[in-house]
Amino acid sequence: MSKKTFPAALRVLTSVVNPLGPDSLEAINTTELPDGCLCVVTAIPAMYEYRKTSSAAADGVNIVAPVGGGAGRWFQYRPGPTSPTGFSVAVPTLGPNSTGEVTVTIPGKVSSGDLVNVNISDTGLSSGIGLVAIRPAVGATTAALRFANVTGATIAGATISARASVVLA
């Protein structure tokens, strides 16, 4: 079985300005493009990878559907984790041996497929309280953080500092 070769011009395309509109990814006729070709969008800036057989739901930013002819989808290429970014968390008052959840905006989170790493960077978290779960919200930039009180006493809520990085899926 031989693999069709494509000229470099069809593997790495010249840049476009936007994901959508006249000078955009969606305006590219993808009929002759090979699977896996790349294109830079300068306004974001971001690199996109073309997947010829995909019919994933397009959102116009993370996934772009071509309207200039051809099939497939453009996926924003995200090569690795973001740098850790600080944010505040309002930990609720927790009764004895209980848990509580708080929803926070995670810096750098852009899709439901993102894996999130959160570290509590504040020594003000009361003894006996710990972060036990991170549940990213589907299709949103938020996540639910579940805290547990493993003591036999009620512990008052507090606002603490945390750091998050997005480990991209």
HEC per residue, 103-145: EEECCCCCCCCCEEEEEECCCCCCCCEEEEEEEECCCCCEEEE
pTM value? 0.52
Domain(s) of CATH 2.70.40: residues in the chain: 85-167
Question: What are the tens digits of pLDDT across the range 52-79?
Answer: 999 888 888 888 999 988 899 998 876 5
pLDDT at 94: 92
pLDDT of 1 > 50? The answer is: no
- Report the candidate in 70, 79, 152, 137 with the shortest Cα–Cα distance to residue 106: 137
Average pLDDT for 122-151: 80
Is pLDDT above 90 for 6? no
Tell me if 122 sits within 8 A of 162, measured CB to CB. yes
Q: How many H-runs (helices) and E-runs (strands) does the chain carry? A: 1, 10
CATH architecture of the region 85-167: Distorted Sandwich (2.70)
Distance of alpha carbon 7 from alpha carbon 11, whole angstroms: 7
How confident is the model over 106-136, as pLDDT tens digits?
776 666 666 777 888 777 778 888 888 887 7
